[in-house]
Amino acid sequence: MMATSSVVHLKGKHLLTLADFTGEEIEYLLKEAVKLKAKQKNKEPHPYLKGKTLAMIFEKASTRTRVSFEVGMHQLGGHALFLSKNDIQMGRGETIQDTAKILSGYVDGIMIRTFAHDIVEQLAAHSSIPIINGLTDDFHPCQVLADLLTIYEEKGYLAGNKLAYIGDGNNMAHSLMIGCAKVGIDCSIAAPIGYEPQASIVEKAKQIAADTGAVIHVTNDPKAAVHHADFVYTDVWASMGWEAEQQTREKAFAAYQVNQALMSYAKPNAGFLHCLPAHRGEEVTADIIDGPQSLVFQEAENRLHVQKALLAALLA
């Protein structure tokens, strides 16, 4: 079980990466997500954000991020305002600093899904309201909160599990290392040569793991990474913004497909995770993602519940 903690105060904090939160704060959010998920299933009203408004800035398109945040704000009694890059002046040259100050006077929080991570850092530096990173090229913390909730639901505990991530050392690999390190989950990353996660982020995750007893391991050998894993995770080989490299990446990642042969190195009933969208036949075979070990739709639904917990904690 997750450790029982005292009341955790998160109001007004930013979520730029999971390094911003303590392990206790992450576990608090997961416990609140469990409660909110039960309330929704039981059709119990929970308007904790009545009268609150969240601005959602999208410079990158999304299915799960937009729908989960918009529906989440509605279910919490608040309102979500969708802003594409063409809807606001930031897309026409207005500075991030000015955008942050102006929106701080209108809304109660900002969720942004963008490219360069320094955009969310600048937004946070100049705003007086909470900023939530809905995805950048370097980090995807909201997705990993959903992943951790799924692991907890399946196992009943976090620390002591092992997660193996197979594929590109991208924003998912970065956030999984940090999130796992924060809560004591061993995390092995297997990526082709030249596609490993950023060394500075690996080092940061290892520093965090030193305090929790987790093991962070990066390798070029997918079999070694998957060995004795409780959960096997992958992502598309060419993330948004890298589509021009699709053919090159298909060759580089050919040996990194999650299939029955690779899953045989994990524990017999290891769960399969994927942040979605998935390309069946590329990074994962259909029999795995659509098979009995797959948790991807439970994982996708959990985006809604953990983000509601996050919104309630930051904005209520």
Instruction: Answer yes or no: 20 catalytic.
Output: no
Q: From the annotation, which residues make up the binding site for L-ornithine? A: 171, 235, 239-240
Average pLDDT, the chain: 95
The mean pLDDT of 151-166, rounded to a whole number, is 98
β-bridge mates for residue 79, sequence order: 53
Q: From the annotation, which residues make up the binding site? A: 62-65, 89, 113, 140-143, 171, 235, 239-240, 275-276, 303
Residue 187 has pLDDT above 90, yes or no: yes
The mean pLDDT of 213-242, rounded to a whole number, is 95
Instruction: Answer yes or no: 207 catalytic.
Output: no
Residue 288 has pLDDT above 60, yes or no: yes
Instruction: Answer yes or no: 92 catalytic.
Output: no
Helix, strand counts (H, E) of the chain: 12, 9
Q: Report the C-alpha gap between 314 and 316 in whole angstroms.
A: 6
Instruction: Answer yes or no: 113 catalytic.
Output: yes
Q: Which of 117, 140, 174, 274 is catalytic?
A: 140
The mean pLDDT of 101-123, rounded to a whole number, is 97
Residues in the chain: 316
Q: 234-281, pLDDT tens digit by residue? A: 999 998 777 889 999 999 999 999 999 999 999 999 999 999 999 999
Q: Which of 133, 122, 125, 118 is nearest to 57 (CA)?
A: 133
Q: Which of 138, 168, 275, 307 is catalytic?
A: 275
The reported pLDDT for the residue numbered 7 is: 53
Q: Which of 75, 143, 257, 307 is catalytic?
A: 143
The reported pLDDT for the residue numbered 242 is: 75
Which one is predicted more confidently, 89 or 79?
Answer: 79
Choice among 82-91, 93-102, 134-143, 216-225 with the minimum mean pLDDT: 82-91
E strands within the chain?
53-58, 79-84, 109-113, 131-135, 162-166, 186-190, 216-219, 231-234, 271-274
Instruction: Answer yes or no: 117 catalytic.
Output: no
The reported pLDDT for the residue numbered 4 is: 44
Instruction: Answer yes or no: 46 catalytic.
Output: no
Residue 5 has pLDDT above 80, yes or no: no
Q: Which of 137, 187, 235, 307 is catalytic?
A: 235
Q: Which of 113, 117, 274, 305 is catalytic?
A: 113
Q: From the annotation, which residues make up the binding site for carbamoyl phosphate? A: 62-65, 89, 113, 140-143, 275-276, 303
The mean pLDDT of 70-86, rounded to a whole number, is 96
Residue 38 has pLDDT above 50, yes or no: yes
